[in-house]
Structure 1
Amino acid sequence: MPRSSDGGGGYAGTGSHMSVLAIVGMGGLGKTTLAQLVYNDKTVCQSFDLRAWVCVSEHFNVENVTRKIFTSLTRSTCHHIQHYYALQAALVGEVEEKRILLVLDDVWNEQSDYWKELCLPLLASRRCDIIVTTRSKAVASLVQTMPSYNLNWLSPDDSWSLFSQTVFMAQEIPANFVEIGRSITEKCMGLPLAIKTLGSALRYVADENKWRDVLESEVWDLKQSKDEVLPALELSYKHMPIHLKCCFVSLSLFPKGIYLDEYRVILLWKILDLLQCDGSDDKDEIGRLYFNELVQRSLLQYYIDGQRVMHDLVHDLACFLAGGEFFRLEGTKPIEIPRDTRYMSILSRDKSIPISNASQSLRVIIMIEFADVENPEVLLLNCDKFRVIDVDHGRLAKALVDSMGHMKLLRHFTLARYEDAEVPNSALQLFNLRTLDIEAHVLHGIGRLVNLHALPKIHICKCGGCFLNIMEMRNLNKIRTCFVYGLCNVSIRDANEAHLHHKKNLEILHLDFIAQKSCQHMERSDGTQAADSVSSVQLLESLRPHHQSLKVLRLENFNFDRYPSWLGSASFSKLTELVLHNCQSQRCPTLGELPSLKSLKICGMEHVEHIGREFCSLDQRVIGGFPSLTLLSLHDMYRLQEWSEVKDGDFLCLETLWIGSAFKLRSLPIVPSLHCLNLYDCRSLLTFPASVTLRELSISTCASLNELPVLPSLQVLTLFDCPSLVVKHGHFTSLTILDLQAPFKEETLYRLVNSNLSIERLEVWSDTLLSIHLDPKNLPSLTELMLRGSNLQCCDELGSLSSLKKLNVCGAPQLHVPDSLRNQLEELIDVKSLGKP
């Protein structure tokens, strides 16, 4: 990579154990990419105890950057640390006497006092290496303790190589595209970001004439930005499909440098109604397709730890294209909102934001980070035009709730962390409302909002005076999600009046007999007592949902022997996920005839002793139970003794089986296509069937298990607390990962370790072992080894494991690691005493 160096010597304000390297270059040259290569390098990782990556961007605030450093170092939030000096002290505690690598990406601030203050807690470290990426030579001179690394433009040949690789992806390049492609590359001025982004857009264009249109576009001659990269980025935008253009521009509502979580981005697009799909399409799936297409077009980039982020210049393009229509309200000084703003996000990392005016065009208010507005009444002058509100608690939230009744065009209202809001009666005139997500104390009359797609959670209390009466759902036939708690307080008459069977759009239904929220007038109700006073089965019969649309069903805390007749009916053809939690029946329902069921989780059915043929079908002639099921989880079924009568053709797609806390279960049926089996606390289990498909096996706290069957495809084996297990044959020809945790028989360890030449990673945890014998001839593929044991003194032939690259020795102070092996390893972690680094 081309480079030049400037002399060091700029003031860093740090001790001699702190080194600062500045990577300098204009936007789009690859400063962040280069820093990522260093940050993720294996040798570099081995040299530091802790690493942190922080995107600083233009708004430099020492406290916010310090919070980001703390969060990145610890992989935890620090919201609980409110005071800045306490935060600095906490950071000192984290870095003290440790080796730290810190990347500060995209630094602009040139004030030396800020830099000194930021570095102060880091002086407690034993060693701190900092990489700063910046476009400013003045910033580099301020922070560097060594010559800066200056990035230059790519050469013409390197530019063409990057462009052709991006567009044609190692395929043969058509001859008629070479000359045009080289000419387009030249216009990108050797800037990698411009080359890659425009190349990613042209990957979807096979028409030579359209390539010529790009080459001859007048956009290249526009002087809208001092950054040469902008014309190329704008051309990539020009060649997007129209639906993607709107979604891309909407991302200008996010601040620079923020991680763009896929779920969060798709939620924004759904709120803004930007996802083009007909009634039968899944909006989340459409959103994922849009998100991935932006990634493919290099407009969203991979970042640290798999996160996605927009490059600053790409973000600048989105803001440029958005004009005043999209606006971010941020900062601490009085702000004037552009008159043409329709979509506004609010961000404030410091305190409440003062505003001086309100846009008459404003339609959408979304809070990206926790923030508040100092004078919310200014925003509400034109609230009758609001379409979307998505905010957190605070003064703005309260003002919006109080003014809800005036927002006649409102479609979406979400109010997070604002419990027991008093929703005014006038809000029940918002007939355009589709989504109402609010923890409201009183919601009587909500049944008039007939266009609702999503309801707030319904908490039903005995007093009848709080929250929402289930009868009010009668005319809400467009709802797609519904969560009802406290069914023990519902009468059969009221349940019938809810008319769930009329709701053809209902996709997600959660019914819970115990009230999860107490009311003002009495203590939380007891679902078990109420179940004796009404017929719970009849109540669920009355709450039968419409069969055509339901995809997810969760039933919790009911206590009766029979199930409603509709549960398990094959007419529920779209049901893919079912959860039964704490349902106190003595048998499992018949669920095997559900044609699309993919995930089934049963937990807390502690009275079930036997699972038989009725689980798959009541008709003995029927075979092929659970035709689509891929995941089955059975937990806390303490009395389950037998699972039998599984026939050929049942569970043909089942890949993952989890069974936990089934204390009396003695055996398992044959499952033909199982890939992953997890057994936990199955104390009476003696063995289980052989399998030619099983790849991953995890067994924990199964004291009676005495042997493993033949498992020729097994790749990953984890054994914890299996003291009776004896491995008789030992030949798992595909085994690559083995994890043994005490107690276990030593013969099991050696039979597994020394009989499988394919093992690549081995972990052994035992405080009783004094020595371990590892035969290098039997472990030719071993690259990773972890040993943990307070009494472990010797590991024979440790220095002869020629393929070993990573060694982790934890809590074994007497174990010696030979110098010859230390020189061979890429990574060595040797923690002599547990709990002390």
Structure 2
Amino acid sequence: MVDAVVSVFLERLLNTLVEEGRIVNEFRDQFENLQKELELMQNVLKVADKRKRKEPTLHVIMGNLRELIYEAEDILADCQLESRDDSFSNGWLCCIYPPKLQFQYKTGKRLREINENITKIKQDLSYLGLSTCNGMARIDVHNDPRWSSPVYDHTQVVGLEGDTKKMKDWLFEADHGILSIGVVGMGGLGKTTIAQKVFNDREMEDHFERRMWVSVSQTLDEAQIMRSMLRNLGDASVGDDKGELLKKINQYLLGKRFLIVMDDVWSSDVNWWRGIFEGLPKGNGSCIIITTRIKEVAIMMGVSEARIHRPKFLSEDDGWLLFRKIAFAASGGDCRYPELEQVGKEIVSKCKGLPLAIKAIGGLLLYKSHYNEWRRIAKNFRDELAENDDSVMASLQLSYDELPTHLKSCFLSFSLYPEDCVIAKEQLVHWWIGEGFVPVRNGRSAIEAGEGCFSGLTNRCLVEVVDKTYNGIIYTCKIHDMVRDLVIKMAEDDAFFRLNGIGCRHLGIDSNMDHKKLAANRKLRALLSTTKTGEVNKIVSSVANKFNECRYLRVLDLCKSIFEVPLTVLLHKIGCLQHLTCLSLSNTHPLIQLPPSLERLNNLQVLDVSYCQNLKMLPPYLMTFKKLRVLDVSHCGSLEYLPKGLGRLSNLEVLLGFRPARTNQLDGCRIAELRNLTRLRTLGLHLTRSDEIEDNEVNALVNLQELQLLTISCFDSHGIDLIDKLDRLYPPPSLHELSLKYFPGKMSPVWLNPFSLPMLRYLSISSGNLAKIHQSFWGENNTVWKIEALLLESLSELEMDWQVVQQMMPSLRIVNASWCPDLASFPVEDIGFRGAIWTKEEH
């Protein structure tokens, strides 16, 4: 992990030295010496990081090095702040004013000490056989475009046909009482995968009127489990006690045939379950599926011996098939090199038929293309197995060791989240950008690089996909409990995160957080809300009052939180955290305005105030935040417009919830200012009235050549004049994805055609008045769309014929249609009532 810390620091240092701030320049020699030493050391740090797990002395040395680098980065950040403080920038006073002299003296002295200590560490590493004298710094940044997005379908499973058929047969046989089924086996065998396969089966959807999936953590809480059951039924029920919760569950299920999955149960004390089970209505052929590693747990939860399913290890052929689907995903699962097949089969045999081990090692080898690399991985895998006979943990450890340095930091981020937590990809990517984990190379945008890091972890099968959009884009994820065991161990070793909250630089915020953790960690880099889906943070005053003491915070995410202390008081204190690069106040209550004190946060790259329904206005000072990359004001119902000057935010890549000012709103930002945001990749527009777009502003979007995703929402729009303006608001020809929501016109826009949008891959149209498709949509002169995924939802009057769609969209792979009764000949049943998804692979 020291390798990753050094990489992040060097990235920041190089950028700063190029900028040559005034104060930074005072210490340029010290920083450059530090840079040279660290670049020479980089080529051995990965080896040292691996060896330190077995050598206590090396573990101490690397820990000391890590702390020195963190301190040097904090000094660098302080220097940057000082260089921007232009209170005395006029004339020679800036060189002699006493506070600056004191800062320069202390900083220079400490930088020299850090350099001396790192020279000593370099000698210690050499003494331990880790010479840093020869070799260039290792280049360890993967920007191969082939791996910047998921390359295979994570929902694919192998060898489970017999398991799912057996369990479905049992489920169909249920009649009186409640049938309990157990799936029992060791970790990594695929118990949860089998249960998911059955749970999501179309026949099961039809057979059961209610379905609930509950992840039972090792620190289970009976009330939380019942709340999770109710969330599956669409009921939040935050404040009810256990008796009221159970009564509600009974009412929802009474007279219904239901299926409940209790996933990953550990505790042999099942009194919690007896109480819930007794409160469930009986009969109607309802069923319970319990997955656990411990047979006795399943028996105590009411599963008979005859209804325990024990998944088998994958056969040699199935294991090799699963491995091929992942390791050779770029070639469709085909191994085209006999020499790699021999090594691959040797590796698969050592995974002992455990799917999680096979997936982890396959994901690792996806990034290795040469025979010598495969042989090296095979040898390292044997070495890991010699020390730890658990093939799953050995494969996971090897996957971690082989991660590029920047992905190690990203992977360790998952240690903050509680067991079975569903995590938003957006929160992770914003965090990684804010803390500098994401290396930006070759002109890539920060968001694109962050998405690439996420794909790097999912492609290696270290992160599991939970939810995708209609076009396959992942937006929530989780990690397997065995992966979590590894990531917590690695995070503890490297002081990234510790369960006791002491001596680390990253912490998760939840309702049980102790303020002592903040008092003991004043050098924290990140504080993030890590609540589970449907839960809300209750942040007590003693915790909130400590935030401002963590002066080196880069990332502060308070989403889905309520506070004892008034929010305005808390935000005023946050204004002193001038190193903040990422601030999320999404879904906090009741955020009405941002105070003047936040004007000092001019290092911000990400600001998220989405879902703050009471937010009435944004302060004009936000338009001076030149480093801002992401501004999210979506779903802020009380926000009328953004301040004038938005066009000055030239680094903006994501802008969501943009509401243009109307003609009479003189302090507001007009849509014309978007012309200046040439780096914009994602734009969400909310348009309601025609005077939000003047005749000379209809070309505001057409030249945004970097724009990839455009969402236009006209919810609660007024007047037919807006339709004419929308018809002339041409998107850029390079657009990849378009989403139209609540479109007010009966006819689709004239620019929605394959000539104007030749690069469009994904199209989503939902709600609104759309009834007819403009003739231009169907092209001419044999021109066809390149659209791969199409979503049509809640369009009660839309007429469209499948045969014509298929002819005009030959690349179409996915159609998601629901509540569109006038669609003709689409290859789904009951399209107007239940909705369906069609994929080319299935038909």
Short-chain TM bin: 0.5 to 0.7
Contact 1:675 1:693 (8 Å CA) reproduced: no
Cα gap change, 1:422/1:741 in structure 2, threshold over 3 Å: closer, same or farther?
closer
Percent pairwise identity? 23
CA distance in 1, matches of 2:388, 2:665: 64
Say if 2:196 is the partner of 1:36.
yes
Cα gap change, 1:311/1:224 in structure 2, threshold over 3 Å: closer, same or farther?
farther
Deviation, structure 1 residue 55: 1.3
CA distance in 2, matches of 1:441, 1:48: 47
TM-score, length of structure 2 as denominator length: 0.60
Say if 2:376 is the partner of 1:376.
no
Q: Mark the runs of 5 or more structure 2 residues left unpaired by the alignment.
A: 1-158, 163-174, 610-614, 809-814, 839-843
State the Cα deviation string for residues 367-408 of structure 1 (Å, max 9, x = none): 022323442167437321111111023137846423213212
SS at match of 1:21: strand
CA distance in 2, matches of 1:228, 1:642: 56
The aligned counterpart of 1:367 is: 529
Say if 2:446 is the partner of 1:316.
no
Say if 2:558 is the partner of 1:393.
no
Deviation, structure 1 residue 70: 2.5
Q: Which moved more, 1:206-215 or 1:552-561?
A: 552-561
Say if 2:583 is the partner of 1:413.
yes
Q: Number of aligned pairs?
A: 620
The aligned counterpart of 2:396 is: 233
CA distance in 2, matches of 1:118, 1:268: 39
- The one-letter code matched in structure 2 to 1:106 is D
Contact 1:568 1:594 (8 Å CA) reproduced: no
Q: Which moved more, 1:477-486 or 1:412-421?
A: 477-486
- Kindly indicate which of the two structures has a greater share of residues assigned to strand: 1
CA distance in 2, matches of 1:561, 1:346: 40
Q: Which of 120, 125, 129 is the matching residue for 2:278?
A: 120
Deviation, structure 1 residue 93: 1.0
SS at match of 2:675: coil
State the Cα deviation string for residues 553-599 of structure 1 (Å, max 9, x = none): 74734456993324227545456647475465395564569544674
Q: Which of 264, 276, 280 is the matching residue for 2:439?
A: 276
Q: Which of 688, 696, 712 is the matching residue for 1:565?
A: 696
Say if 2:226 is the partner of 1:66.
yes
Deviation, structure 1 residue 211: 2.8
Deviation, structure 1 residue 97: 3.1
CA distance in 2, matches of 1:95, 1:153: 36
CA distance in 1, matches of 2:526, 2:719: 43
Q: Which moved more, 1:97-106 or 1:373-382?
A: 373-382
Q: Which moved more, 1:163-172 or 1:141-150?
A: 163-172
State the Cα deviation string for residues 30-73 of structure 1 (Å, max 9, x = none): 2223333443556666654433222112121111111222233x
The aligned counterpart of 2:214 is: 54
SS at match of 2:721: coil
Q: Which has the larger radius of gyration?
A: 1
SS at match of 2:420: coil
CA RMSD of aligned residues (A): 5.4
SS at match of 1:54: strand
Q: How does 1:807-826 map to 2 (within 5 A)?
A: none
Contact 2:385 2:391 (8 Å CA) reproduced: no
Say if 2:311 is the partner of 1:142.
no
Deviation, structure 1 residue 458: 12
Deviation, structure 1 residue 235: 1.0
CA distance in 1, matches of 2:293, 2:830: 48
Deviation, structure 1 residue 277: 3.1
CA distance in 2, matches of 1:232, 1:458: 42
CA distance in 1, matches of 2:379, 2:692: 76
Q: How does 1:683-832 map to 2 (within 5 A)?
A: 693-695=804-806, 736-737=827-828
Contact 1:717 1:738 (8 Å CA) reproduced: no
The aligned counterpart of 2:721 is: 585
CA distance in 1, matches of 2:624, 2:310: 65
Q: Which moved more, 1:143-152 or 1:647-656?
A: 647-656
Higher relative contact order (CA 8 A, sep 6+): 2
Q: Which moved more, 1:170-179 or 1:383-392?
A: 170-179
State the Cα deviation string for residues 495-525 of structure 1 (Å, max 9, x = none): 7xx7xxxxxxxxxxxx5xxxxxxxxxxxxxx
Cα gap change, 1:694/1:592 in structure 2, threshold over 3 Å: closer, same or farther?
same
Cα gap change, 1:252/1:240 in structure 2, threshold over 3 Å: closer, same or farther?
same
State the Cα deviation string for residues 600-630 of structure 1 (Å, max 9, x = none): 8597878x9x999xx679xxxxx96666678
Say if 2:501 is the partner of 1:337.
yes
Q: How does 1:482-521 map to 2 (within 5 A)?
A: 483-484=658-659, 487-491=662-666
State the Cα deviation string for residues 57-96 of structure 1 (Å, max 9, x = none): 2121111111222233x2x242466333222111001222
Deviation, structure 1 residue 314: 1.3
Contact 2:647 2:676 (8 Å CA) reproduced: no
Q: How does 1:186-205 map to 2 (within 5 A)?
A: 186-205=349-368
Contact 1:122 1:128 (8 Å CA) reproduced: no
TM-score, length of structure 1 as denominator length: 0.60
CA distance in 2, matches of 1:238, 1:254: 21
Q: How does 1:324-723 map to 2 (within 5 A)?
A: 336-339=500-503, 341-348=504-511, 353=514, 355=516, 357-369=519-531, 370-374=536-540, 375-376=542-543, 379-380=546-547, 382-391=549-558, 392-395=561-564, 398=567, 400-416=570-586, 417-420=588-591, 423-438=594-609, 439=615, 443=619, 445-446=621-622, 449-454=625-630, 470=643, 476-480=649-653, 481=655, 483-484=658-659, 487-491=662-666, 543=673, 545-546=675-676, 548-549=678-679, 552=683, 554=685, 556-559=687-690, 563-568=694-699, 571-574=703-706, 577=710, 579=712, 582=718, 585=721, 587-588=724-725, 590-591=728-729, 595-596=733-734, 599=738, 652=783, 681=797, 693-695=804-806
Cα gap change, 1:389/1:624 in structure 2, threshold over 3 Å: closer, same or farther?
closer
Deviation, structure 1 residue 633: 7.1
SS at match of 1:359: coil
SS at match of 1:565: helix
Contact 1:544 1:566 (8 Å CA) reproduced: no
SS at match of 2:695: coil
SS at match of 1:393: strand
Cα gap change, 1:680/1:247 in structure 2, threshold over 3 Å: closer, same or farther?
same
SS at match of 1:406: coil
Cα gap change, 1:90/1:223 in structure 2, threshold over 3 Å: closer, same or farther?
farther
Deviation, structure 1 residue 192: 3.0
Contact 1:432 1:451 (8 Å CA) reproduced: yes
Q: How does 1:242-321 map to 2 (within 5 A)?
A: 242-278=405-441, 280-301=443-464, 308-321=477-490
- The one-letter code matched in structure 1 to 2:577 is M
Contact 1:50 1:98 (8 Å CA) reproduced: yes
Contact 2:606 2:628 (8 Å CA) reproduced: yes
Contact 1:442 1:467 (8 Å CA) reproduced: no
Contact 2:261 2:290 (8 Å CA) reproduced: yes
Cα gap change, 1:572/1:283 in structure 2, threshold over 3 Å: closer, same or farther?
closer
SS at match of 2:538: coil
The aligned counterpart of 1:790 is: none
Contact 1:302 1:308 (8 Å CA) reproduced: yes
Cα gap change, 1:290/1:412 in structure 2, threshold over 3 Å: closer, same or farther?
closer
Contact 1:393 1:415 (8 Å CA) reproduced: no
Cα gap change, 1:445/1:317 in structure 2, threshold over 3 Å: closer, same or farther?
same
Deviation, structure 1 residue 109: 1.6
The aligned counterpart of 2:123 is: none
State the Cα deviation string for residues 235-272 of structure 1 (Å, max 9, x = none): 12233334433322222222222234444544444444
CA distance in 2, matches of 1:57, 1:231: 24
CA distance in 2, matches of 1:258, 1:301: 11
CA distance in 2, matches of 1:693, 1:43: 31
The aligned counterpart of 2:180 is: 20
